[in-house]
Chain A
């Protein structure tokens, strides 16, 4: 089996909790296999720390197949590391070289406070969804699914927006810590579908208000979010959200 031959230096952010200050701590790793995922490399580090009687590095992760959105490492200055369209758990060590020094930090944003080490609190995202990221249809109220044909192009566009995994890389990479890519992806998914029309303008107002209340920054169109999004969510969604938000002021009779 493949024990590898890569030697690495890690500089990892260690912080006991949200009340204490943190710092980068150096660790040496040897015999890393290029077939390991980035998180498996962290498993090796943690096993090493536990065997030495130290506390392991705490980091968020769960599915390890790139879909749950839980993993969240800021690697060498980029969320989810050097590869495009890949989450940290799907990043493999073959993307690094023997002898590399790798700096690993948590997501940094006022709205995502550090919980411990590399783990942050992203519950602000849930509160934005709770403010309007849904269609108000109770269980049992639905008509036959095929009674509402939806053009394939439109359904596909909604799906592309819906592919967001809510990891927060867009916020972490934005110099303003703006959440507009995340928020606009959900708004777009529902705005593109006929089912989403009745609440379309109410939704955009509620979600944007909650986004602001959470302390996320504004968008200055640098496009870093789109470039770093592991799921390729498009900036067009932000344009659509802005359009709907502006329209809401004229079209909607409701002010939320």
Chain B
């Protein structure tokens, strides 16, 4: 069935990566010095790759649109990073992390990639600690772990609720070290606008200096995109305001297949929308589900305060429906369960689009333990709550503060109100085992690629994948390609391919400026987001998707005739930046709907209402849909489907059950 080659090495699953590493062609040190690699993006996947490739001796150029590589949105990841260390002696292993990830991804990820990810996971923790990343420790001085959804072991390493920040600052420090040594040239406030292809191979990029508006041409023997996910296609998401799909989309238009675009992760625990002014949504870390219990009232339209609803009138619906995993079911399952309760009329808060996340029971339990440590026997409830609150504060203080700041409510006293929100995109540029896209010499790492999470990503696995790709996978796999490029001299950027790519980029900028329409870029972005959330969000159906495709096409036409971009292209122009990004989001939105419509099954984050079990769980169709949908861009915003068959040789494919 496959018409694309994923280049997975032969041999036993457990030996593939070891064998690959020891047999991959090498580039000798003197040749490395004349080989140039362009890295776009400075998050976990980009910064780690840039630093590592520079350490190995390659000449690296790294680009980010922010004012510093330290600002990339990896910084906002809260909860943690998984690694199969088995430090807790709770039966964890490389195989178990591999198994959990495949199962969590609803059997839509590639076995060989996921096993490799599990194999290198332990190295990541070692590397980060060596860099001085202050991960949480126990009193004995050893590293601490916590639980995350979709697993029954404690394998998540963390730094309070700021794990992404600490890991990114680690990668950033490694990157800055190479910048200081002159081995990486850093281009901040630069946005990639085109991929340059010469004789079918990626040979550079066109970038815009966001301060001066100057268009620059950069050559590279290879180009790596570590440009993150496309959740902002929904306008409201937990992504940063600047997170965008433009680099990946321009690559797509130059021949890189886009895989599984419809797989979107809706995170179950976010702060609910408060009004039309809302510009982004804020996540409350999944780690809170360790200690928080999720519930709604048993009575419909119950308007009492949470504290006035007695215990026996509360429905802990996750614990009821999924006794084995309870509040720690995977994200897609938890999100749909919240939507189900709210749609049925049991939601809370003024919008009725929220459920409670309640810490009271566990605060009291922690308080009892603390009281016992302090020699207080039979402590009263007040003492327990006081002591327990201190423990909760230490574990989640920054998250509780953030909640209080945004909502104006005190979460230590009343339960948090939460609702699902767009958080992560499992889909992305199609890559083979080497992380190379369908364009030779063009690589893609981290969230920007599609490779490891199938149809649903488990919590604390994004940081793991970003750093695995950048520190431990790409630096090896890219050698397979670059070892054949050693005789290629740097191509001068007056080559016609550079000229032509620059003309394409400039053409788009000028068109946007000259439309001089009546509506702002945000106006169009909000409308696109609304269509996507309503018709390609937590639940989709064929009728809605067909409508969405028509509406998005109409929106695209309207955008290109009526958008208003003030200012000029030769200055700092944030509206122009946004306009280019929204133009790409509109095209991507259409592809997401086409992909969702084409996949006549439910799996992970893709829930088609027509395909569900009697209990309302996702119903996969492994006979017809056990493939990666890799879309090729065709002239005039059309798309052609290619299929990569997924073979499960080491895991028995089963209906996912967390009951």
Q: Are A64 and B126 in contact (CB under 8 A)?
A: no
Cβ-closest chain A residue relative to B48: A139
B222-250 contact mask (Cβ, 8 Å, vs A): 1 or 0: 00000000000000001011100000000
Q: Is B276 an interface residue (CB 8 A)?
A: yes
Please tell me if B636 contacts chain A, counting CB pairs below 8 Å.
Answer: no
Interface-lining segment among B3-11, B176-184, B585-593 = B176-184
Q: How many interface residues does B have (CB within 8 Å)? A: 83
User: Within 8 Å CB of B87, what residues of A?
Assistant: 146
> In the bound complex, do residue B166 and residue A50 qualify as a contact, i.e. CB atoms below 8 Å apart?
no
Interface string of B58-85 (1 = CB under 8 A from A): 0000000011111111011000000001
**CB distance B401 to A162 under 8 Å?**
no
Question: Is B100 part of the contact surface with A, judged by Cβ < 8 Å?
Answer: no
* Closest residue of A by beta carbon distance from B401: A85
B560 to chain A, nearest CB (A): 18
With a cutoff of 8 Å between Cβ atoms, the chain B residues found around residue A158 in the complex are 132, 134
Contact in complex: A123, B188 (CB < 8 Å): yes
A57 to B179 Cα, complex, angstroms: 32
Known: A1-B275, A130-B180, A134-B173. A145 touches B143 (CB 8 A): yes
Closest Cβ neighbor of B280 among chain A residues: A64
Q: Give every chain A residue within 8 A of B143 (Cβ-Cβ).
A: 145-146
Determine the chain A residues whose CB is within 8 A of the CB of B186 once the complex forms.
126
For window 137-158 of B, CB contacts with A under 8 Å fall at 137-143
Q: Which of B291-299, B356-364, B432-440, B563-571 contacts A (4 or more CB under 8 A)?
A: B563-571
B344, CB-defined interface residue at 8 Å? no
* A199: min CB distance to chain B, Å: 10
Q: Mark B117-134, 1 if CB is under 8 A from A, else 0.
A: 000000101111111111
User: Is B126 in contact with A142, judged by CB distance below 8 angstroms?
Assistant: yes
- Given A50-B566, A54-B566, A123-B188, does the pair A189, B73 have CB atoms closer than 8 Å? no
B274 in contact with A51 (CB, 8 Å): no
| Distance, CA A37 to CA B280, complexed state (A) | 10
B572: interface (CB < 8 Å)? yes
B445 at the A/B interface (Cβ < 8 Å)? no
B94 within 8 A of A: no
Closest to B126 in A: A142
Closest residue on chain B to residue A57 by CB atoms: B574
Q: Mark A13-42, 1 if CB is under 8 A from B, else 0.
A: 000110000000000000001011101100
Contact between A159 and B166, CB atoms less than 8 A apart: yes
B160 at the interface (CB under 8 A from A): yes
When the two chains form the complex, which single residue of A50, A121, A122, A149 contacts B140, counting CB atoms closer than 8 Å? A149
Residues of B within 8 A of A92 (CB): 405-406, 408
Q: Which of B277-309 contact A (CB under 8 A)?
A: 277-280, 282-283
Please state if B127 and A122 are interface contacts (CB–CB under 8 Å): no
Given A122-B67, A123-B188, A130-B177, are A193 and B125 also a contact pair (CB < 8 Å)? no
B472 within 8 A of A: yes
Tell me whether chain A's interface is mostly helix, strand or loop, or mixed.
loop
- Write out the residue numbers on chain A whose beta carbons fall within 8 Å of the beta carbon of B38: none
Which of B137, B162, B566 makes the CB contact (< 8 A) with A163?
B162
Residue of A1, A125, A139, A190 with highest tally of chain B CB at under 10 A? A139
A82 within 8 A of B: no
Q: Which residues of B contact A116 (CB under 8 A)?
A: 571-572
Q: A120 to chain B: closest CB distance in Å?
A: 9
Task: Contact check, A148 vs B174: say whether CB atoms are below 8 A apart.
Answer: no
Tell whether B559 is near chain A: CB-to-CB under 8 Å: no
Given A133-B173, A135-B131, A68-B141 contact (CB < 8 Å): no
Confirm or deny: B544 has a beta carbon within 8 angstroms of a beta carbon on chain A: no
A115 touches B572 (CB 8 A): yes
Give the number of A-B contacts (CB < 8 Å).
227
A61 within 8 A of B: yes
For the complex formed, measure the closest distance between the CB of A256 and the CB atoms of chain B, giving whole angstroms. Answer: 12
| Cβ-neighbour of B406 out of A90, A131, A137, A143 (below 8 A) | A90
Q: Which of A65, A134, A189 contacts B177 (CB 8 A)?
A: A134
Are B274 and A2 in touch, CB under 8 angstroms? yes
A179 interface hit (Cβ, 8 Å):
no
Q: Confirm or deny: B513 has a beta carbon within 8 angstroms of a beta carbon on chain A.
A: no
B622 contacts A by Cβ under 8 Å? no
Q: A189-B132, A195-B131 are in contact. Are A62 and B71 (CB under 8 A)?
A: yes
Does B130 lie within 8 Å of A137, measured CB to CB? yes
Instruction: Tell whether A144 pairs with B522 under 8 Å between CB atoms, given A70-B66, A115-B572, A150-B137.
Output: no
A106 proximal to B (CB < 8 A):
no
Please state if B277 and A55 are interface contacts (CB–CB under 8 Å): no
Instruction: Flag whether B575 is at the interface (Cβ < 8 A).
Output: yes
The answer on a CB contact under 8 Å between B176 and A62 is: no
Across-interface contacts of B242 in A (CB, < 8 A)? 62
CB distance from A144 to the nearest CB of B (A): 6
Task: Tell me the chain A residues, 29-83 only, with Cβ under 8 Å from chain B.
Answer: 33, 35-37, 39-40, 43-44, 47, 50-51, 53-56, 58, 60-70
Residue of chain B at shortest CB distance from A54: B566
* A65-B282, A145-B129, A149-B140 known; A60+B67 contact, CB < 8 A: yes
The answer to whether the Cβ of B402 comes within 8 Å of any Cβ in the partner chain is: yes
Contacts A122-B68, A189-B132 known; A67 to B141 CB distance under 8 Å? no
| B477 contacts chain A at the CB level, 8 A cutoff | no
> Cβ of A195: which chain B residues have Cβ within 8 Å of it?
129-132
CB-based contact B402/A35 at 8 Å = no
User: Given A63-B73, A126-B70, A195-B132, are A39 and B279 also a contact pair (CB < 8 Å)?
Assistant: yes
Q: Are B55 and A138 in contact (CB under 8 A)?
A: yes
Q: Is A3 an interface residue (CB 8 A)?
A: yes
- CB atoms of B76 and A141 under 8 A apart: no
Of residues A60, A145, A159, A165, which shows the largest number of chain B Cβ atoms within 10 Å of its Cβ? A145
Which residues of A sit under 8 angstroms from B131, Cβ to Cβ? Answer: 134-135, 137, 195
Q: Which 3 A-B pairs have the closest CB atoms?
A: A149-B141, A130-B180, A142-B130
The chain B residues found within 8 Å of chain A, CB to CB, are 48, 51-52, 55, 66-73, 75-76, 85, 87, 123, 125-143, 159-160, 162, 164-166, 169, 172-174, 176-177, 179-180, 186, 188, 211, 238, 240-242, 274-280, 282-283, 401-402, 405-406, 408, 471-472, 475, 520, 522, 564, 566-567, 571-572, 574-575
**Which of A's residues lie within 8 Å of B, judged by CB?**
1-3, 16-17, 33, 35-37, 39-40, 43-44, 47, 50-51, 53-56, 58, 60-70, 85-86, 90, 92, 94, 115-116, 119, 121-123, 125-126, 129-146, 148-152, 155-156, 158-159, 162-163, 165-166, 189-190, 193, 195-196
Q: A130-B176, A139-B174, A152-B138 are in contact. List 11 more A-B contacts (CB 8 A).
A: A62-B242, A63-B76, A64-B241, A65-B280, A65-B283, A67-B164, A68-B75, A70-B71, A129-B70, A146-B142, A189-B134
Task: Jot down 20 A-B pairs with beta carbons below 8 A, ordered by A.
Answer: A39-B279, A40-B279, A50-B566, A50-B575, A63-B240, A65-B280, A116-B572, A126-B179, A126-B186, A129-B173, A138-B55, A139-B52, A140-B127, A143-B126, A150-B137, A150-B141, A152-B138, A162-B133, A162-B159, A165-B165
